[in-house]
Amino acid sequence: MMKWEQIVRVIFVGVEIREAAPVPHDLALVHKDPLTLSTLTSLLCLLSLLIIIIGILLLLIPSKPLSKDELDALKKLPGQDVIIGVIDGGIWPLSASFQDDGMPEIPKRWKGTCKPGTQFNTSMCNRKLIGANYFNKGILANDPTLSISMNSARDTGGRGTHCASIAAGNYAKGVSHFGYAAGTSRGVAPRARLAVYKFNFNEGTFTSDLIAAMDQAVADGVDTISISQGIDFIPMYEDVISIASFGAMMKGALVRASAGNRGNSVGTVVNGFPWILCVASGYTDRTFAGTLTLGNGLKIRGWSLFPARAFVRDSPVIYNKTLAACDSDELLSQVHDPEDTIIIYDDDNGDFSDQMSIVTRARLKATIFISKDPEVFMYTSFPNPGVVIDKKEGKQANNYVKSSVSPTATITFQETYVNGRPSPVLAETSARGPSRSYLGISKPDIMAPGVLILAAVPPNLFSETNHVDNTQKAIREDNNMVATPLDMGAGHVDPNRALDPGLVNEAQFKTIARSSANYHNCSNPPADLNYPSFIALYPFSLEGNYTWLEQKFRRTLTNVGKGGATYKVKIETPKNSTVSVSPQTLVFKEKNKKQSYTLTIRYICDSDQSRNVGSVTWVEENGNHSVRSPIVTAMIIEVWGSE
């Protein structure tokens, strides 16, 4: 009989939760144990590719307002002595991002260890990487005969290393991705400390190991936990990330997690719990490029990550509909002198990686891809010379080829441009709300850069990872649709303004616990949660018989400005709604004082739009601060576990 247990001692205030293997007679024994509160089935984890690079910034805001000198010092030393726990696939400790140059002594409050294992010894930890641990009892319980190839905190896949370096990597000079994004890399908080907890192994990834890692991180004294994993189709009260992060919140550790990479369908967001900072993924304004110069002198900047310091000079360009399909390397190889020929490809129905493999096997000189697929711009493998251009530019290239007797082209590579694309733009792969875990709040919370971020692998470009910019500039999805709070949360994070927000929504543990319990027994509406956003839902009617609904929200704001302040409300009303706020002026006599207001929304279904958005903004009379909370009306969706 197989019997095992994973003990979680810290994040549940002294209560031991034993996660047992799914063997009926073993579970019966566990249930009889008076120390057992609950049993959970260990599941395989869904690994999100979203790299979280924000959330640390919120830790840099202490409970008391900072002086100007303190703020200036904080900006000079981002993350000084904040301890970040990264729970993922381990770390490659030899990277320059994890050297401890310029780091002071390890904080005395740190209680963690540097656990030795396969190709990892205690000397690999330092004043930057202050802790390393690994957890695989769940994997071994599932298969006791299994041999773990890298039985240590050492990373083999790159994800954990990438996450850690983005969060708190030290300054590393002279880095690039084969000439792209060249410069000095650093994490969001380069002076923060790192503690890594590996639970993601090549041999498997189980939730029992994840919850054990989170428990140990809190016991060690981390200030914040970063998780780039998610579990879908599981109700909130059974989701181990929900349970463990709730316990972490009780102990004062902020958990920030990926919104997921399920794409742009409604209700795909994971980690949509009230006590987690849920982060959507967006593009930066940086573009990696190759320049296509046609024989007529027309220059077109195209997307490329071809890694060689080389160029294609004055080579023949051909286009015809048969070759443009690029679906057969045998066909392409029949081109006269393929190794000195550029092909124009304009069929974007196929998979880009397959197309790249075909042109590589055909040994073409280069390829000009014409595509409108946004996921192409997340593709990092360019084994064959090529550039990606859009439909408009592709038409110009085709017209030139058709009108020229001997068309030629030149392509140069390894070009990086800042302000090379509109930003912020929501990533196509970033998961969307509402949350199927908890409908009472709007998720995700914020959006941060998460596509093609350069970090320490080795280094490489990876994709997919409360105060924000209050301008009226719309954030768009990469299909050019305007993003809503159910896509991007409150918007793209503004780190500098996050350090001086003016007003904040504070949510106490008791409030969150009561609201979460009421969410299931309906004794009190979950809208009472003091969340910095508003969501009003309406049920679907097959007959289209919709009526006006009304919902009230109560919010309490805390003044964290320099002194007393007066704020007046500004309302942007969602379509097919009316919104009222009382009172319309909030007067804070001094810093740290609180004031409450009530927002009432009357709304009805919009048959032409599945969701409508607005906002309530508190504007300080002197213009120093404006604090915006989004409002969303949307259709109710099915909650996970509601069957």
> Which residue ranges make up each domain of the chain?
46-285+424-498, 288-413, 503-635
pLDDT score, position 47: 43
How far is residue 230's CA from residue 242's CA, in Å, rounded to a whole number? 10
Q: Is the pLDDT of residue 515 over 70?
A: no
> Could you give the count of Cα atoms lying within 13 Å of 313 in the half-sphere of its Cβ?
2
Query: What is the fold, at CATH topology level, of the domain defined by 46-285+424-498?
Result: Rossmann fold (3.40.50)
| CA 333 to mean position of chain CA atoms | 42
pLDDT score, position 46: 43
Q: What is the mean pLDDT of residues 350-370?
A: 84
How far is residue 108's CA from residue 129's CA, in Å, rounded to a whole number? 15
Least confident among 110-119, 130-139, 197-206, 629-638: 629-638
Residue carrying structure tokens 């909130």 = 236
Most confident region among 51-60, 93-102, 178-187, 484-493 by mean pLDDT: 93-102
Residue among 162, 238, 169, 232 nearest 200 (CA): 162
Cβ proximity of 161 and 142 under 8 Å: no
Q: Is the pLDDT of residue 13 over 50?
A: no
E strands, 321-451, where? 342-345, 366-370, 386-389, 408-417, 425-426, 446-449
Give 577's pLDDT tier (boundaries 50, 70, 90). very high
Q: Does domain 288-413 have CATH number 3.50.30.30?
A: yes
Q: Which residues contact 406 (CB under 8 A, 6 or more apart)?
A: 295, 316
pLDDT score, position 27: 39
pLDDT averaged over the chain?
Answer: 79
Q: Is the pLDDT of residue 21 over 90?
A: no
Q: What is the mean pLDDT of residues 583-599?
A: 97
pLDDT score, position 353: 79
How far is residue 344's CA from residue 357's CA, in Å, rounded to a whole number? 15
The crossing angle, in degrees rounded to 10, of helices 207-220 and 240-250 is 10
Burial class of residue 425, CB neighbours in 10 A (0-12, 13-18, 19+): buried
**What CATH code would you report for 503-635?**
2.60.40.2310
Q: Is the pLDDT of residue 48 over 50?
A: no
* Predicted TM-score of the model (pTM): 0.79
Q: What is the pLDDT of residues 399-418, one digit of tens each?
A: 999 999 999 999 999 888 88
Give 183's pLDDT tier (boundaries 50, 70, 90). confident
Cβ proximity of 364 and 339 under 8 Å: yes
